[in-house]
Amino acid sequence: MEQKTYIDQFYDLILQYGPRILSALTILIVGLWLIRRISESFERLLQKRNVDPSLQPFLTTMTDVALKVALLLVVAAQAGIETTSFIAVFSAVAFAVGLALQGSLSNFASGVLILLFRPYRVGDLISVENHLGFVTEIQIFNTILTTEHGKKIVIPNSKMTDDAIENAPKETEVQVEVSVLVDSATPVPVLREAAEAAAARCPWALPGRRAEVVLSGVNRDDMKVDVAIWTVGENYIHTLDYIYEALLEEFTARKIQLAPERRREILA
């Protein structure tokens, strides 16, 4: 009689919870199948949109995990398990982790934005926070620059999105500009001739693009002359280093005097 009671209780449990459990298992199986399909479609979409390869696995994994967490909550609710406490605990843990990793999360979010919108790419010459260098690596948390002297500069990605960036893409035509203080009696045509001769000597100057000479300041003793030479971003630093020497040699050949009180000074 006692055994029959246990059997009856077991049948009652099956009748009470069986449909819920069966329904929850069905939702779980179908949901996992759908999530796999969605993840595969999302990955193909990222590849089609040419999203950075280093970002594709992360976005795909994050989407997959988020969908699976949502599926587990739905399955638990369908099985009759109270999910309110789980959601509360999860929210508290996520909030605590967010506070502890606030700076890292900011760099992480900025890294995702950089990889998505690509304000600069590997190989570009950029200037940010008084640092000038070529982008050698874009990581999730940091951007790595390499200077002309081989020094490595690690800049948090939050700085890259918060501050202004001066970008000279490696294949883009850019002007190398230098400012020179010369004697105010120097004829402007002679200055233009010297600048064009210096540009013609520069191996990185773009052919067919004339040097530009602009007077940006004049007083009794000297005048400030801005000289601009066209090159590509990849050769910006080489051109900048070369043009100083070339200008000095051309000035010497044409007897162009620098400002009397600062004859040895050339200002960038």
Question: Which pairs from 1-8 meet CB under 8 Å and 24+ separation?
Answer: none
| Statement: residue 265 has pLDDT above 50 | no
- Parent domain of 32: 2-100
Assign residue 230 the CATH number of its domain.
3.30.70.100
List strands edge to edge, sheet with 212-218.
Answer: 212-218, 222-232, 173-183, 266-267
Structural domain count, the chain: 3
Average pLDDT score over residue span 187-197: 87
Specify whether the CB–CB gap between 124 and 169 falls below 8 A.
yes
Among 45, 68, 100, the domain boundary falls at 100
Give the lowest-confidence range in 50-54, 124-128, 244-248: 50-54
The residues, ordered by sequence, that sit 6+ positions from 24 with a Cβ below 8 Å of its Cβ are 75, 76, 78, 79
Residues 140 and 181 in one domain: no
The pTM of the full predicted model, rounded to 2 decimals, is 0.60
Model pLDDT, residue 233: 87
Assign residue 64 the CATH number of its domain.
1.10.287.1260
Q: How does residue 33 score in pLDDT terms, banded at 50, 70 and 90?
A: very high
Residues 78 and 147 in one domain: no
Q: How does residue 263 score in pLDDT terms, banded at 50, 70 and 90?
A: very low
Average pLDDT score over residue span 74-92: 72
Q: How does residue 90 score in pLDDT terms, banded at 50, 70 and 90?
A: low
Report the distance separating Cα 72 and Cα 130, nearest Å: 50
110 found inside a domain: no
Percent of the residues in the chain that have a pLDDT greater than 90, as a whole number: 3
131 found inside a domain: yes
Instruction: Compute CA distances 49 → 44, 52, 53, 100, 198, whole Å.
Output: 9, 9, 11, 34, 45
105 found inside a domain: no
107 found inside a domain: no
Residues 8 and 92 in one domain: yes
